Structures are given as C-alpha cells and as structure tokens.
Amino acid sequence: MNDKAPRLLFEKSRPGRGTDVIPRSDVPDRPLDSLLPASELASNLVPLPELGELDVVRHYTRLSQLNMAIDSHFYPLGSCTMKYNPKRNERLASLPGLASVHPYQDESTLQGILELLYDLQGILGEIAGLDAVSLQPAAGAQGELAALLTAAAYFRDRGEKRTKVLIPDSAHGTNPASAHLAGFDAVTIKSDSRGLVDMADFMSKHDDQTAVFMITNPNTVGRFDPQVVEIARALHDRGSLLYLDGANMNAILGVVRPGDMGVDLMHYNPHKTFSGPHGGGGPGAGPIAVRASLAPYLPAPIVVKRSDGVFALDYDRPKSIGRTRSFFGNVGVLVRAYCYIRAQGPEGLRRIAEHAVLNANYLLALIKEEYPVPFGDRCMHEFVASARGLARDRGIRAFDIAKGLIDRGFHPPTVYFPLIVSEALMIEPTECESRETLEEFARALLEIAAEDPEKLHEAPVTTPVCRPDEVAAARSPILIHPEASRAGIER
C-alpha cells in the first residue's frame, strides 16, 4: 500500500457529520432489550462512519474510476470472453414491461416475457444443433451441474449405473467440480503434444462405466479438436454421452453446431458468448441444451406454446430433475442475450466468431517471437502463450507481466491457467477490438519483455495499491477495519 490509496470511509469520518434525515416515528418508543434478547445485542455501538452525502458519493465514484472495466480498458482475460456489453441491451432489458413483471403474476399477464423466453429456447437449440433447452440454471457452472444431473437421471431411468465422467486436463476447474457434485468420479484425460485430447489415454480410460465425456471445443488453449467426431463415436458405441462446455462458443458461433460434432448436451455462458455483463458477481445464466433423448429429464418448468397459441410454464414433467433455481432463473440476463442474438441475426453471429478468431490470430502473430505459443501458431478465439523462457532467462514471470500491463493501461490476461502450460498467459481479445488496440497491446507486451526485471518486480506502480504481499494476504487476511475490530464487530 502507498500514500495514493484512497482513505477509507472510516478514516474520513468526523463525529456528528452524518446527514441522515429520519422521519419522526409514529409508533411509541420501546427499549431495545425488550425487543431482542441480550445475547443478540452488541455490547458497543457500531462505529458507523459519519460523512456528508457528497463525500460518500465522491468516495464511491472515485473507487469506481479505479476499476478496470470493458467500458474503460482493453480486457483480454482469456476464457472469459470480455466482449463489449451493448448499451442497447441494457435499455431494452430495463423496459418496464420486461423489468417490472413478477413471476407470481398470472400467466395471462406474462405472455410477452414468456414468448421471449420461448423464442430464446428455440434459438439456443438451433445454435446448438440440439433439440431441447432449459434456461433455468443461474450460471455456467450451475448449467454444468444441471446438465450432469440430467444425464444421471437419464442413466438411472435406463437402469444403468455409470460412475465416471472423463475430463481433459486442459478443462475449466468447474468441470471436475460439477462431476463430483453430481455424484460421479472425475477422471482426468491427458492432452497430447498438440494440446488436443490424447486419444490413447482416452481409449484406455473409456469403458462401460463412462457416463459422460466433458469436452471444451475449442479448448482452453484455443485449439479446435477435430477428433471430436471420433470421440463422440467411441462414446456412443458404449452408450456414453458427450458434453460440451460452451465457454468457448464465441469461436464457433454460427460456423459449427455442437450437435453436429456429436455433442449430446451442453451449456452456454450468455455473459461470455451473448454479451451479458460480467460484473458484480452476477446474476448470471447458464442455459443448457440437450438431445431429445435427454429432454424429459431437464429442469422444470420449461416454457411451452400451447395449441391455442398461449405461452405457459410446463411443470408437468414427471421425469424432470426438478428446479435448479427459484422461479425461472435470472431472466434479466436472458433478455440481454435474446436482444444481442436478435440484433446480430445468423450472419452477424457467424461474423462474430470469424472476427474473434481473426483478432486472436493477429495478436498471436504480433507477439509470438517474444512469447512462444507452445501449441502452435494458429488458434481459435484465444491462445495461451508461455513466459517460461523470460522467467528462466530474465526472471520475468507471467505474474510480473500481468502487473506490468496494469501500469500500461491494460487489464492483464488470465495467468497460470490452463495448468498444462508453464508460466501461462491466456489471451482472448474478442471480436470487439480494433486493429489499433491489438497493436498497442502487443507493443506493451514486447516492451515488458525488454523491461528491467527489477522494475517489473515492483509493478504496478501507477495504482493506489501497488504490489500486495499475496502470500501474507492469503495466509493471514485482515478482513475487518481496526476501528470496527475494536468495537467487537467481528463477533
């Protein structure tokens, strides 16, 4: 920390400066201890900071300006598809007819939003090349879990006991976590020297106990695995299913349909592929699409169009795994995805994928001499470069490069993931960036590669908080302001 760090509200507080205006109470006062048991009461007054309203507004505005966001900075965070979130989507999603409806309203008054969701189910099914869709899961990882539970219900219904889910070592960490939560054993499949599925390892681990193979295609090193058709055939021959982690759909949108690759079930990340906002920890959405044979087990309800043209929520799904989210999932982010898809149209979606791949390949070509890309110099929507040589020869690690980029006005790429590349820098520019932005970013990376390592070890130097001690922060975090701590708030 240095002296540029904004002071906390606690530190700016002055006794008596509060500007709260509380109306006169119209019920008689009662002593606090007659309302709550003593054990629930704090022994000291909570030391809430006291400030003028304008001071508070300036404080939070300043903090928001310190943030790096897609609206202010190039944000090539690999695997996250940090594309522009069109303002049009925000405007449309906040229309009162969409934003103010309530799930407890009578269905006859919800026809507009139900029709939109019904159409979105159809659109996502079409893009996937699959038959049925549930919009309910609240995020990508919950979509994975819901889909694996759907697969588990499918096998149970067929009287089959299958224990294994096969997952490549380049996969997102959510894959094994979801498999485990769904009651399966996660079995790791190695990558080969090309960064693709090691077919020998796959064949040696695939047997009648395999329920699902979870593939990410293109995968996290930005390679499309053409073996997917062969993998699907081997799986289907033994009654197993192929799952697609849809995190990287931005690379193949409108070009390849997962269903045509042999995929049986998948999830989407609308906040990645369909321009939903990433911020604030949510709300997200993780719609899933499945083949007809799996449709009866999808979460309920599903939006249906009855023969009289009325849209309804169908709860009458006896084989369904049930609800995965209250009401109907996070509708706001689904509305944004719908607006984005409808604004782009089929040709627009394809162009997005093509430009995402072109941008990534252009950036790769600009930096590959200084930052070698172990899995080849062609990629899909993202690529993983390695700072191994720089770390070995000059003591400049991926971590230092990330910090140096902050000083140069760029959000860092994902670092140290996937684990199969040492000193990994995972870079995904998205289709939204101009050639000039890509060139500026490449220049910054090349400048960093030639920088004095000692200086880089200090980076970032332009931020209010410079390089924190990450080990100390993780081992003994201080989560409570001393002022609050003194007042016994940690209780």
Summarize as ranges the residues that interact with other proteins (CB under 8 A).
Answer: 388, 397, 399, 416-417, 419, 422, 470-471, 474-475
Q: Please check whether residue 479 is in contact with residue 424, taking contact to mean a CB–CB distance below 8 angstroms.
A: no
Q: How many other C-beta atoms are found inside a 10 Å radius of the C-beta of residue 258?
A: 24
Phi, psi for residue 133 in degrees, rounded to 5? -135, 140
The pair of three-digit structure tokens given for residue 51, joined into one six-digit string: 């400030």
Q: How far is the CB of 322 from other proteins (least distance, A)?
A: 32
State the minimum distance, in angstroms, from the CB of residue 25 to other proteins: 50
Integer angstrom CA distances of residue 108 from 103, 114, 115, 311: 12, 10, 11, 8
Residue 173: φ, ψ to 5° = -60, -20
For other proteins, the closer CB: 362 or 416:
416
| Helix%, strand%, coil% for the chain, nearest 5 | 40, 10, 45
Helix axes 398-407, 435-449, angle to 10 degrees: 120
Task: Indicate the length of the chain as a whole number.
Answer: 491
Nearer Cβ to other proteins, position 347 or 470?
A: 470
Residue 192 or 483 having the CB closest to other proteins: 192
Q: What is the DSSP letter of 297?
A: G
CA 291, CA 236: separation in Å to the nearest integer?
13
- Residue closer to other proteins, measured from CB, 397 or 411: 397
Q: How far is the CB of 423 from other proteins (least distance, A)?
A: 9
| Closest CB 143 distance from other proteins, rounded Å | 23
Q: Strand 288-290 to strand 132-134: parallel, antiparallel, or no bridges (unpaired)?
A: antiparallel
Residue among 39 and 476 whose Cβ is closer to other proteins: 476
CB of 4: closest distance to other proteins in angstroms? 24
At its nearest, how many Å lie between other proteins and the CB of residue 202? 17
Q: What phi, psi does 107 have (nearest 5°)?
A: -55, -30
CB of 223 vs other proteins, minimal distance in Å: 19
Residue 35 or 474: which CB sits closer to other proteins?
Answer: 474
Cβ-based nearer residue to other proteins, 28 or 468: 468
b/e code 139-165 from CB counts within 10 Å (16+ = b): bbbbbbbbbbbbbbbbbeeeeeebebb
| Unique residue bearing structure tokens 């989507």 | 89
Instruction: Name which of 133 and 398 has its Cβ closer to other proteins.
Output: 398
User: Considering the complex, what minimum distance in angstroms separates the CB of residue 190 from other proteins?
Assistant: 11
Structure tokens at 188: 């790791």
Closest separation between CB of residue 388 and other proteins, Å? Answer: 7
| Residue among 257 and 388 whose Cβ is closer to other proteins | 388
- For residue 416, give every residue at least 6 positions away whose Cβ sits within 8 Å of its Cβ, in sequence order, or none: 398, 399, 423, 424
Residue 197: closest CA among 173, 220, 168, 229: 168
